[in-house]
């Protein structure tokens, strides 16, 4: 399975990730070799296998109750840009 630099570029944009031309080239090569490696799973017959759960089922459900966070200032202080207690972000649409 070969991933092209163009594929990598497309995936990077889906993942909201800027890459340098050098990264695109290198990743295309490295990811192709990893995809070749995982191709061996095609040898396993999984026709009889359901998806099931691969881990024990969640055991400790709790109500989705709102808890007041005791000290929100340390969280607010870490906003990259803020206006008072509000987190300020760039415009979604230009």
75 vs 85, which CB is nearer to other proteins?
A: 75
Shortest Cβ distance from residue 34 to other proteins (Å)? 6
CA distances from 50 to 19, 46, 69 (A): 38, 8, 41
Binding site for other proteins (CB under 8 A): 3, 7-8, 11-19, 23, 27, 30-31, 33-35, 37-38, 40-42, 44, 46, 49-52, 54-56, 58-62, 71, 74-75, 78-81, 87, 89-94
Interatomic CA distance for residues 43 and 47, integer angstroms: 12
Shortest Cβ distance from residue 30 to other proteins (Å)? 6
Q: Write the DSSP string, 3-67.
A: --HHHHHHHHHHTT----HHHHHHHHHHHHHHHHHHGGGGGS--TT-----SSPPP---------
Shortest Cβ distance from residue 85 to other proteins (Å)? 13
17 vs 85, which CB is nearer to other proteins?
A: 17
């Amino acid at each position: 399975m070969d991933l092209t630099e163009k594929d990598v570029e497309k995936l990077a944009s889906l993942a909201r990730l800027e890459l340098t031309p050098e990264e695109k080239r290198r990743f295309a090569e490295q990811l192709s070799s990893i995809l070749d490696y995982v191709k061996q799973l095609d040898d396993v017959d999984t026709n009889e296998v359901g998806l099931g759960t691969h881990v024990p089922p969640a055991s400790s459900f709790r109500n989705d109750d709102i808890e007041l966070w005791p000290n929100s200032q340390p969280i607010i202080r870490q906003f990259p840009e803020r206006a008072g207690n509000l987190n300020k972000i760039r415009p979604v649409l230009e």
